[in-house]
Every structure is written in C-alpha cells, then in structure tokens.
Amino acid sequence: MDLEVTGKKALILGGSRGIGWYTAQLLANEGCTVGLCARGAEGVEQAVASLKEQSGNDGHYGAAADLSDGAATRRFVSDAISALGGVDMLIHNASGFGDGSEEGWERSFQVDMMAGVRAVEEALPALKESSAASITFVGSMASKFYFGNRSSYGPAKAAMRAYANELAQEFGRDGIRANVISPGAVWFPGGSWDQRKQQMPDFYAKVEKRIPLGRLGTGEELGRIISFVASPAGMWINAAHIVADGGQVAAVD
C-alpha cells in the first residue's frame, strides 16, 4: 500500500529520539519532507543529517525548541512551515511525562497540551492550504486506565483526546483531520522501557507477560501506525482515539 506521502510535508514536535524519530524516518523514507524539533540541539542536528542521508532529500528541517516555552513552540512551527514551504501532517509527539507534583502538572499542561494548541494555531493557515491535512497527537493508554500516584500524565493525555475531537469537528470542512494514537508500553534502545528492562528486569518481565502478544511494542510499529493515520492512506480516520497497545489494557474500548 502506498501511504501517498511523496512530496508531502510533515512537522514532528519531539522528533529526535524514540517514537517521534521512528516516525520521522519512516515518513522521510516514503518521500515526505520532515521538519522536527527537540530541546537538544545536537540530537536535532544528528536527526536531520541522518534523514537527509537516508532519504537523499536535502529539504528536511530541524531546530532546537523547548515545547514548554510558548514563544519557542510557535517560532519553530512558523519557521519550519517557511522552510518546508507548507505543512500537510502535524504530529505532536513530545510529552512532559509529568508526575503528581505541581511542577509535573505544569509540565504536562505546557508540553502535552499547550504545545499542541499553539502548534495547531500556528499551522492552521498552512493546513487549510493542504489537500491532505492531518493533525495527529501521540497520547497514551494512561488516558484511560489507572496510572497511579495521581500523576498529571494520564489527565493531560485525556485532555488531548477531547481537544483532538474539537479540532476534528470544527476543521473537517476545511479538509483537516485530527486523531490521537495511544501507545501502551513501547520498547526501543535507550528509551524509558529499555532503562526499566535493565534496572528493573523483574518488573519489565511482569509487564511483558501481561501483554497478550507476549512482548512490548516497538518504535518501528508505532512509527508505522502514526504515519498511516497521519497520511492520506488513513483518510477516513477522523476524530478517533486509536489504541496501539497490543492488547495491554484488558478493556473492551
């Protein structure tokens, strides 16, 4: 199946490592031009250089930006749209991974929620110009099950789901889709579950055993799901919350 992303443009907020990076590589290798940001300038530089080398396309763009900073978020989106000459797919992948502290709630609110709101506002005029516009948020299964410690993480991801529906209902007539994809536990080298695997092997083994497919998801698998939903191939998916957890959360919906 062709994702139909050749010549399309994607912005990935939080794209230098992990799930965002797997998504960036997949889209770039399918012919899409990618603009990405992360806080670490070195990570961004390496990611953009690697995308250019992998895809043979010199148009990929990156900039260091902290998504908890409203002005920096808006600047990145606006600069990236100028550099790419538009945007078709806006993907908000980064999380503040907030805990239950006041600082954690603030980080969750700014990074998971407000960075998405600000990025959408900045990107809307360009998205309205696109013939294949989509907004995709990377959520979490923590938005629907008890996560513990009265953490801000799940509630922020739940707010994201309500916001995506607002966008989908309001901007569908402009040809803009909006969806949330919620991963369960995802393993990739250097990621948070890789660290748990090394530091808490018993806990990791218990989580793995509880997942019906007998393992954690991979970065590549999430990259494929995100890319499909964001791409024109996922056209009829709109206002949806998509569970991508291998059956980890034992619930009907």
Contact positions vs ligand NAP (CB under 6 A): 14-20, 37-40, 43, 65-68, 93-95, 111, 138, 140, 183, 185-186, 191-193
Dihedral (C-alpha) 77, 143, 217, 38: value to the nearest 10 degrees? 20
Annotated catalytic residue 153: yes
From the CB of 44, what's the least distance to ligand NAP, in Å?
7
> Residue 96 class from Cβ within 10 Å (0-12 exposed, 13-18 middle, 19+ buried)?
buried
From the CB of 147, what's the least distance to ligand NAP, in Å?
10
From the CB of 124, what's the least distance to ligand NAP, in Å?
21
Cβ closer to ligand NAP: 184 or 234? 184
Contact (CB, 8 A) for 216 and 171: no
In the sheet that 241-244 helps form, which strands lie side by side, from edge to edge?
61-64, 33-38, 9-13, 89-92, 133-138, 176-183, 241-244
Both tokens of 144, joined, read: 């629907």
Cβ closer to ligand NAP: 31 or 43? 43
Cβ closer to ligand NAP: 129 or 194? 194
Closest CA to 144 of 25, 68, 248: 248
Phi then psi dihedrals of residue 75, to 5 deg: -65, -45
From the CB of 83, what's the least distance to ligand NAP, in Å?
17
Cβ closer to ligand NAP: 94 or 225? 94
Out of 61, 153, 163, 204, which one is annotated catalytic? 153
Catalytic annotation, residues: 153
